[in-house]
């Protein structure tokens, strides 16, 4: 399930209209619709607001959101998987590139 699909599922389960949720997070209804369909990426701030409004576990949705961001960046790169392994080591063991 993608981040957009999760958002749509939770919004529909709660009975919220697109316009209600988009107004609460301060974006146009068309933008939220595109986020749900995977045609546009939400910002981290929008994801956090959506998690609050739709009562989605922040850890769950942020993990999904970040994994999609990483995938988008490396999926067509010849050395994408190798870069991911290096990044994982830096995160795990620390280093000058770790913030």
> What is the token pair recorded at 21?
């949720």
The rounded distance, in Å, linking the Cα atoms of 60 and 8 is 15
Whether 48 and 4 have beta carbons less than 8 Å apart is answered as: no
| Phi, then psi, of 20 in degrees rounded to 5 | -65, -45
Give pLDDT, residue 94: 83
pLDDT for 26 equals: 97
Alpha carbon 17 to its chain's center: 20
Domains and CATH numbers, the chain: 3-68 (1.10.260.40)
pLDDT along the chain (99 residues), means of 10: 97 98 97 97 97 97 96 92 92 69
């Amino acid at each position: 399930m993608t981040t957009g699909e999760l958002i749509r599922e939770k919004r529909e389960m709660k009975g919220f209209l697109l316009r209600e949720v988009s107004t609460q997070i301060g974006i146009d209804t068309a933008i939220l619709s595109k986020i749900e369909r995977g045609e546009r990426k939400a910002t981290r701030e929008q994801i956090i607001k959506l998690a609050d409004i739709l009562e989605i576990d922040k850890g769950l949705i942020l993990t999904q959101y970040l994994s999609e961001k990483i995938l988008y960046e490396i999926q067509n790169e010849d050395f994408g998987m190798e870069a991911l392994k290096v990044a994982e080591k830096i995160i795990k063991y620390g280093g000058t590139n770790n913030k």
